[in-house]
Structure 1
Amino acid sequence: MPSSGLAILIGAGPATGTGIASVLTSPTHGNLAVALLSRRPENLQAVISKVRSASPDAMLEAFASDTSKAFANIKAHDSLKGLNLTLAIYSIKYSSKKPSLEETREDFEESLETYVGGAVTFAQGSSLRVMGSWDW
């Protein structure tokens, strides 16, 4: 059965991302093609393998999480052409490795800029896809 639409998932890690992708690609739940974005490419293949073990016909494609290029790459991908964006999920976790009492304000603000800035870029790219405009 062909996919009913496209979902873009950034933060496609081995736990939450895999669970989200499994539900979205399931023919009985979402039946969506899913473009997976992660900062760790090795995670993406593991996610795809795990999801396809439960749904062999799942349409999953992996992309680097550089959002400045990811949306153009998704647009150009043959298996995703013509699919309307149904859902865009920003599932990024804060990944400070320091104990909270060792975290400096500057480090915290830098991470906020990165994560919140990434969310804005992702939202803009997703909105442009929904509106049908890719000239970004």
Structure 2
Amino acid sequence: MGKTVEILLVEDNPADARLVMEVFKDFKINNKLYHVKDGVEAMEYLQHSGEYADTSKPDLILLDLNLPRKDGREVLKEIKEDEELKCIPVVILTTSSAEDDVLKTYCNHANCYIIKPVDFDQFIKVIQSIESFWLTMVKLPS
């Protein structure tokens, strides 16, 4: 299979995080999925600080917007302003359908914006589509 794809999931909802992790686990792609629960942890992970000192840079970030401690909007802005991190594709995966959120995240260089479906089966299809597109079709930076 080639290089292992490393994915950072930034999600505070335990049920959504568990579902994403299960779908990725079931998919037959060589990947490693790491999960953090808020924006502060996300930035510590990405900057290799604290308990995340030995982490590697992810190839893809799945980022919720409505996070405790540090909002996903702030995390996206910090990622895209950082020379070391700005080339990592960021997929916004959120319940927010607010047009202002869509516009602001694209203005801050999000790579795509996906609204989480409420329906369980549709949520699984969305995650499978993310996998299919980002892990199969797209060439990610090394």
Both proteins in one fold, TM over 0.5? no
Structure 1 or 2, whichever has the larger Rg, is 1
For Structure 1 versus Structure 2, the TM-score category normalised by the shorter chain is 0.3 to 0.5
Instruction: Give the helix-richer structure, 1 or 2.
Output: 1
Q: What is the TM-score normalised by the length of structure 1?
A: 0.43
Q: What is the TM-score normalised by the length of structure 2?
A: 0.42
